[in-house]
Amino acid sequence: MKDITECHARLRGLFNITVTPFKADGAFDYVGLARNIERVISLGFDGILIGGTYGEFPAMSAEERADLFRRVMDIVGDRVPVMLCSAGSDVRVVRELTALAGDLGGLPMVTPPFVSEVTDAQIVAFFRDMVPLSRTGVLVYNAPGIGITLSPSTLEQLAEIPGVVGVKQGDLSPTAIDQIANRIGGRIRLFCASDLAFLGPMMCGFDGISSTNSCALPELILAAYRTLEAGDAAVARDLHRLWYPFRALAREFGQPQTTKAAMNLRGFDGGSVRPPLRDLEIANITAVAKVLRELAADRRSGFSADLAA
């Protein structure tokens, strides 16, 4: 993407939150990453997200993240839009990665600063400082998991900043979704940050979703999204219900380790997680395999039960 206008135009649809496959010793598996990217692009995903919270960016150095950005953009080129997470606790690192992401043709995704008792005014000022660094604009990531939840009124202020092209909304409370969809929808792009409960935001008028579990269940989640996009909410609902048992395990065992375990079982390049996360234990992997086999037994899932040993 060359500029903010093009970025805004292309920022819609189903984005795969691509996991970062690490080897057992913690090294990057770039060959596996390339295979994962090529798979989701070939299946017809609208874009990808790299190095986010489920991409394990907090476990990477700034240099590793910059190298990841460059390698991914070399693989993808301009085939699909790429969100590149430039969030961090060190504003100097956020500045460098945000500028780099834009220079590479990706869209930097930025969270509020990780600072105790930061005020709304300071958050708005932070984004005003970040946005001009990127020629493609900035995607605001409202990520309650980091301890800061942006209110609809604060998001409304951020939407007024020239160069803010969208919000990835992690607060999925019905009130927040309703307010955001009706206050800033149409002005900037709105993305649901979770595939665990995306039907509501999409029905309210959101422009897309980002999905980690689509690394493990790409056929099924893509089918559910495309069905909803085509206007058949009832079938989309049924497809979404189909993989609830997998979502239940993901909530119990944690992410992205559950998705990576499922990917490995399917012969995909999930790899390992980096500390402080831990790969799933054998008993938990067995539970994931059981759910995958049950899913595969239903033709609607779109995949077979051939699992790796």
- Asked if 20 and 49 count as a contact pair (C-beta separation under 8 A), the reply is no
Q: Is 62 exposed, middle or buried (0-12, 13-18, 19+ CB in 10 A)?
A: middle
CA distance 84 to 49: 6
CA distance 88 to 115: 10
Please indicate whether residue 244 is annotated as part of the active site.
no
- Bridge-based pairing of strands 13-18 and 189-192 is unpaired
Name the β-bridge partners of 22.
28, 272
CA distance 196 to 211: 8
Residue 188: what are its φ and ψ, rounded to 5°? -130, 165
Residue of 141, 244, 260, 290 marked catalytic: 141
Cβ neighbours around 26 below 10 Å, total:
11
Helix (H, G, I), strand (E, B) or coil at 117: coil
Angle at 166 between CA 183 and CA 205, to 5 degrees: 50
Please indicate whether residue 290 is annotated as part of the active site.
no
Residue 13: what are its φ and ψ, rounded to 5°? 100, -160
- Asked if 216 and 43 count as a contact pair (C-beta separation under 8 A), the reply is no
Residue of 2, 23, 168, 260 marked catalytic: 168
Angle at 165 between CA 189 and CA 137, to 5 degrees: 155
Q: Is 19 exposed, middle or buried (0-12, 13-18, 19+ CB in 10 A)?
A: buried
Q: Which residues are catalytic?
A: 141, 168
